[in-house]
Amino acid sequence: MTAQQALKDALRERLGPSARERGYQGSAPTWRKSNAAGDWAVVNIQSSSSSTSERLRCILNLAVAPQPWLRLHGERLGRVMPKKVSESLGLYRRRLHPAATPAGIEGWWEISDAGSAAAAVQDMVEQLELDGFPTLERMLAPKGMLQQVRSGDLGYIKRVHHEAFFAYAEAALSD
């Protein structure tokens, strides 16, 4: 069995059911949830391009793409947005890392067989339950994304370094 197949099986058996219990739809590597306003939360497993069939590295991406942001993004690019919202379209984007990852380090899960895949996916589910799902749910709540922008934290992007971007995002969400 390849590392890719071991991860796919573990995600189907453990992360998929956990995501569906929270209202997410989809299958490995991406699950999505929307609210009545048309905002989207995305959970995505990204594999490293340097992975081999014997050894795979992966990380957990989170994103929230509010409907006004998607609409503005589409208008700005002069195109229709895709039917399925991807993690890359999120206004809020960040990664979850393995539990033992030191602060400030970008840790990736390492998969080589079914056992390491099961352990990695179990840790992914725990990281999602502790931090990921509550964060995404908070931003899917009414005015939740606007509050997140006003807090100055959009995951990778912080207000302290991108004041104009945050003003732009707040204006887009305040309509």
pLDDT tens-place string over residues 25-56: 999 999 999 999 999 999 999 999 999 899 99
Q: Which 8-state DSSP code applies to residue 111?
A: E
Question: Does residue 77 have a pLDDT over 60?
Answer: no
Structure tokens at 77: 């690019």
> What are residue 174's phi and psi, to 5 degrees?
-85, -5
At 59 the pLDDT is 97
Instruction: Tell me the C-alpha distance between 173 and 70, whole Å.
Output: 10
Instruction: Tell me the C-alpha distance between 34 and 83, whole Å.
Output: 13
At 72 the pLDDT is 84
At 53 the pLDDT is 93
**How far, CA to CA in Å, does 29 sit from each of 7, 22, 62, 172?**
10, 16, 12, 29
Question: Does residue 96 have a pLDDT over 90?
Answer: yes
Antiparallel, parallel or unpaired: β 40-47 and 25-27 = unpaired
Question: Does residue 137 have a pLDDT over 90?
Answer: yes
Strand, coil or helix: what is 89? helix
Q: Of 79, 107, 87, which is closest to residue 43 (Cα–Cα)?
A: 87
Query: What band does 80 get if pLDDT is binned at 50, 70 and 90?
Result: low
At 145 the pLDDT is 95
Is-cis flag, bond preceding 134, omega within 30? Answer: no
The pLDDT of 89-116, averaged and rounded, is 94
pTM: 0.92
